[in-house]
Structure 1
Amino acid sequence: MLAGIALVSGCGRDEEESPPAPPVDGQSLAAAVGGDAVAAHMEALERIATDNGGNRAAGTAGYDASVDYVADRLRDAGFEVSTPEFDVDRFIAGPVELRAGDRQFTAGTLEYSPATPPEGITARTLALPDDGSPGCEATDYDGLDAAGAIVVVRRGVCPFSAKEQTAADRGAVAIVVVNNEDGPLAGGTLGEDTDPRIPAVSVPGSEGSAVAAAPELSLKLEAVTEAARSRNVIAQTTTGSTENVVLVGAHLDSVEKGPGINDNGSGSAAVLETALRLGSAPNVTNAVRFAWWGAEELGLVGSERYAEGLDEGEREDIALYLNFDMLGSRNAGYFTLDGDDSDQDGAGPGPQGSDAIERTLGGYLAWRGIVADGTDFDGRSDYGPFIEMGIPSGGVDSGADERKSEEQALKWGGTAGETFDPGYHSPEDTLANVDRAALAQNASAVAFGVGTYANSIDGPDGVPARADRAKAREGAGQ
């Protein structure tokens, strides 16, 4: 238990005679973070959800209680904790109806979508070709007349907000996003700060062909947005260089539909247990700053507010960012954020140094006998604001609403053809539906990454030194 071990082993001697704590390293910290301790924090978060209407969503009593749980345990461990507040818009969806003649489709409102007029919208259908960037770029509409149409486009490659904005720019009156899986889309959002202009809904992949083939669609949806407040939780070690900060984050909020114990009680709990095992004043080279973000499920709001509040010097003080979101999916996969774009598919590489973080985390999992796949920086979690400002980033996760392939099932076990987390964004996201083995493996990877970079950011798997950061980030166009 690192610093704690040294204190315990000194019992019976004067406190001033206790030897200094040994330097932190990745392997020792990983060994100190156990899956059972992480699960105990998740159990506490589930009790909070149960006592507060079944969720821990931003702007609710359940979220406030989650903040208090994390902050209290950090303070008990000697950390100085802040819980900065920020404004957030809570979206409340009403009834939604999508029809083609007498046929009604299974539509879901994308979060922060504008409402239709009370009478709804009826317009011709424009189905975009299923190319490499469906609806993400203006050129996807070349030769097509979107003015006055309801656009139908496949999910993927870019955020939903980019699809909505591009369609609106071309004169569309609404957009329908077809899920890339047969089932309905879970928890899709346009994001709080994107100023959406046209109504946006999703349909299951199984209904996509029928929606696209309809000559005309009718859409009616109700939605309102109300002002709320939320909080982040921030705690930093008192030791280590504050010019080479290792920033470690996980979002603490759930969706309103469920308790959010895998998404993202698992990441929050693993980061919390890592902080407690590390201690507030460890023997580290670099300071470690722990963050639990609010309102991620509303569009990365907490992490964006935090990033926006950093001045130039504070940005350069952050050597790297580690993000942990969903670590115990029931049909678990093992993924590292693809810092080097090794698969040459989808989103490109992360900022300089992200490839090294991927090697560090992937190498640790390999040492434990797990071969991880890469996953894109697709903007679906809180690394988004940090890669935008050129901060090297990485993380591990166990998969969300994508389906496990035959190859992945052979490699990791589990069920091919089933989503990694069948309880994603639902009331079924409980501790009973968490893969404890995957949770333990990934939690130890969290601790390994933190301990490794707290000890050193140098070497072949290091990240740019502070003197080189501005140049590296400028070269990346940040």
Structure 2
Amino acid sequence: MKSAAVSLGLIGGISALRIPPSQPLEQLPLTDGRKGLVSSEELQGQIHAGNLLDRAKVLYSLAERGIDEYNHPTRVIGSEGHLATLDYIYSTIVGLGDYYDVANQSFPAVSGNVFESRLVLGHEVPASAHAMGLTPPTKDKQPVYGQLTLVSNQGCDEADYPSKLAGAIALIERGTCPFGTKSELAGKAGAVAAVVYNNEAGELSGTLGTPSPNHVATFGISDSDAAPYVQQLKEGKKVDSIAYVDATVDTIHTTNIIAQTKEGDPENCVMLGGHSDSVTEGPGINDDGSGTLTLLEVATQLSKYSVNNCVRFAWWAAEEEGLLGSDYYVSVLSEEENLKIRLFMDYDMLASPNFAYQVYNATNAVNPVGSEELRDLYTKYYTSHGLNFTYIPFDGRSDYDAFIRNGIPGGGIATGAEGVKTEEEQGLFGGVAGSWYDPCYHQLCDDLGNVNATAWEINSRLVAHTVATYAVSFDGFPARTSISRKTVDLEKRKYHGPKLVM
């Protein structure tokens, strides 16, 4: 297959397809004349907040195409808003002429919607109760009734589930194994629903992940809401309970878009990506419209220059469903194609209103060698421009995860999601201490008013800097000769995507 596909222009194992966009959009003008080798200074000089904001206006208008089906703007996979986003990305890149090979990579993705849910324990409705992502509905999408029954240990083995669980609602402590495993084992034991309670302070909102026929309707609740019921059950008292979930879990097909420079050494590629989809709840102009449009603008401006090493841009679909697009892409790479990717840079949420300049703390000790060198490139940029930065966990929350799991160095920058800005960070970056970095994270208000233009422009110039640096040379950057996977137990990570999985 590899030898047959080379003549078609291979992009990481994907044949470069020339599929006409359904609605071509106006492109930014290109300069004519001979192309000189890209430089960081020149490429950064082409990046302006005005262009980014103009693109954001286009993206919001595309999200509005989801209104008929969802009653509000959205770019969730499968929606008209997301399909239009894919058209916009594709038509923009194709409109740059013969600079890039472009590929559309279709793959199956699981999509879930919870339309309504309710949990009653005893005579109370826990305020923290949330239906898990990708939960199935209760039977016939009707309320189910049963005794709340405590599961032993943390519910990761069949032996933890008592025989009296049939027809009951399982109460399970968080920990050790994924939520999906707990729901599956509860279903196998005959439970009509499951409730996972937090073993840390705070509410618990997560996803069941890959669907199983044994999954049952599953909720997450906080440790404080669960505590009195855990105590009552340990004392042998009965707790009558009701669970109700109206939800759907479907498999659809969606599309990654990959664009690679025709020029440059194809054996040494610098790769960067962001995700093209939003959550159902809103238009996603910051998450991840900011990353999507930064890549689009950098790709547009890069086309004015020549490169020594190939540059590969990726717009992933179904990130919000659990990194499905990037997972699929890496899973079908041959070892030969894997090794051509010298590093992967993730750009997800670059313009949060209450921003901090965040750098993933990707060290070589626990990640593929080269991750730390990339991290240091980011920090050097901030410090050289008199800007503060902070390290954040490299914990699997975005599309870099599949790459580092498969031996490819990775890293990235962000400006913050639902985390709370500290007083120290207020001193470093301004903004409001005690508020989320993005107060509209995963909400309807993630719209045109939800971006900080200054942070967006600075971070977009940093993206341009990383692209130009590695497009010219990988001197001093660790070579890749084999797919070396670290021994760190990545499977124990709490995140695989934006939602908790365990």
Matches of 1:386 and 1:405, distance apart in 2: 31
In structure 2, give the amino acid aligned to 1:469.
S
1:245 aligns with 2:269: yes
- 2:136 aligned partner: 114
Matches of 2:270 and 2:213, distance apart in 1: 33
- 2:306 aligned partner: 283
1:333 aligns with 2:391: no
In structure 2, the CA distance between the partners of 1:338 and 1:323, relative to structure 1 (3 Å rule), is: same
How big is the alpha-carbon RMSD for the aligned residues of Structure 1 and Structure 2?
3.4
In structure 2, the CA distance between the partners of 1:429 and 1:128, relative to structure 1 (3 Å rule), is: farther
One of 467, 478, 482 as aligned partner of 1:469: 482
In structure 2, give the amino acid aligned to 1:60.
S
One of 334, 348, 367 as aligned partner of 1:350: 367
1:176 aligns with 2:196: yes
1:59 aligns with 2:81: no
- 1:397 aligned partner: 414
Shift of 1:391: 0.6
In structure 2, the CA distance between the partners of 1:91 and 1:27, relative to structure 1 (3 Å rule), is: same
- 1:311 aligned partner: 334
Shift of 1:370: 2.3
**Equivalent pair of 1:164/1:198 in contact (CA under 8 Å):** no
Higher mean C-alpha deviation, range 92-101 or range 196-205? 196-205
Shift of 1:167: 6.8
Shift of 1:266: 0.4
- 1:12 aligned partner: none
Shift of 1:283: 2.4
Under a length normalisation based on structure 1, what TM-score does the superposition of the two structures give? 0.81
- 2:109 aligned partner: 88
Matches of 1:181 and 1:76, distance apart in 2: 51
**Equivalent pair of 2:367/2:486 in contact (CA under 8 Å):** no
- 2:497 aligned partner: none
Shift of 1:451: 1.4
Higher mean C-alpha deviation, range 413-422 or range 189-198? 189-198
- 1:69 aligned partner: 88
- 1:102 aligned partner: 123
**Equivalent pair of 2:174/2:199 in contact (CA under 8 Å):** yes
1:292 aligns with 2:315: yes
- 2:245 aligned partner: 221
Matches of 1:328 and 1:29, distance apart in 2: 20
- 2:42 aligned partner: 28
DSSP 3-state at the match of 1:49? helix
DSSP 3-state at the match of 2:297? helix
The superposition leaves residues 273-304 of structure 1 with CA deviations (integer Å, 9 ceiling, x where unpaired) of 1111111x732221011010111111111111
The superposition leaves residues 2-23 of structure 1 with CA deviations (integer Å, 9 ceiling, x where unpaired) of xx99955xxxxxx6xx5x51x2
DSSP 3-state at the match of 2:41? helix
Q: Percent identity?
A: 31
DSSP 3-state at the match of 1:97? strand
In structure 2, the CA distance between the partners of 1:301 and 1:124, relative to structure 1 (3 Å rule), is: same
In structure 1, give the amino acid aligned to 2:136.
P
Task: For 1:424-463, list aligned pairs within 5 A.
Answer: 424-459=441-476, 462=477
In structure 2, the CA distance between the partners of 1:446 and 1:231, relative to structure 1 (3 Å rule), is: same
In structure 2, the CA distance between the partners of 1:475 and 1:111, relative to structure 1 (3 Å rule), is: closer
1:320 aligns with 2:343: yes
In structure 2, the CA distance between the partners of 1:372 and 1:121, relative to structure 1 (3 Å rule), is: farther
The superposition leaves residues 94-136 of structure 1 with CA deviations (integer Å, 9 ceiling, x where unpaired) of 321112222112432222113333442544465999xxxxx6x
The superposition leaves residues 409-435 of structure 1 with CA deviations (integer Å, 9 ceiling, x where unpaired) of 121111111111110111100121211
**Equivalent pair of 1:268/1:292 in contact (CA under 8 Å):** yes
1:421 aligns with 2:438: yes
- 2:283 aligned partner: 259
The superposition leaves residues 204-251 of structure 1 with CA deviations (integer Å, 9 ceiling, x where unpaired) of 688566676674454332322223221111111011111111111000
**Equivalent pair of 2:185/2:214 in contact (CA under 8 Å):** no
Shift of 1:196: 7.3
Under a length normalisation based on structure 2, what TM-score does the superposition of the two structures give? 0.78
Matches of 2:429 and 2:229, distance apart in 1: 36
Matches of 2:30 and 2:247, distance apart in 1: 56
**Equivalent pair of 2:143/2:243 in contact (CA under 8 Å):** no
Structure 2: gaps spanning 5 or more residues:
1-27, 68-72, 234-238, 491-502
Matches of 1:6 and 1:271, distance apart in 2: 17
DSSP 3-state at the match of 1:261? coil
In structure 1, give the amino acid aligned to 2:261.
T
1:164 aligns with 2:180: yes
Matches of 2:42 and 2:200, distance apart in 1: 41
**Number of corresponding residues:** 438
Matches of 2:137 and 2:278, distance apart in 1: 24
**Equivalent pair of 1:192/1:301 in contact (CA under 8 Å):** no
In structure 2, the CA distance between the partners of 1:309 and 1:340, relative to structure 1 (3 Å rule), is: same
**Equivalent pair of 2:269/2:340 in contact (CA under 8 Å):** yes
**Equivalent pair of 1:39/1:269 in contact (CA under 8 Å):** no
Matches of 1:331 and 1:179, distance apart in 2: 30
The superposition leaves residues 308-350 of structure 1 with CA deviations (integer Å, 9 ceiling, x where unpaired) of 2211111111111011111111111221111118xxxxxx832
**Equivalent pair of 1:241/1:285 in contact (CA under 8 Å):** yes
DSSP 3-state at the match of 1:246? strand
Matches of 2:362 and 2:64, distance apart in 1: 38
**Equivalent pair of 2:183/2:208 in contact (CA under 8 Å):** no
DSSP 3-state at the match of 2:286? helix
Matches of 1:262 and 1:403, distance apart in 2: 17
In structure 2, give the amino acid aligned to 1:150.
A
- 1:132 aligned partner: none
- 1:191 aligned partner: 209
- 1:345 aligned partner: none
In structure 2, the CA distance between the partners of 1:121 and 1:72, relative to structure 1 (3 Å rule), is: same
**Equivalent pair of 1:52/1:62 in contact (CA under 8 Å):** yes
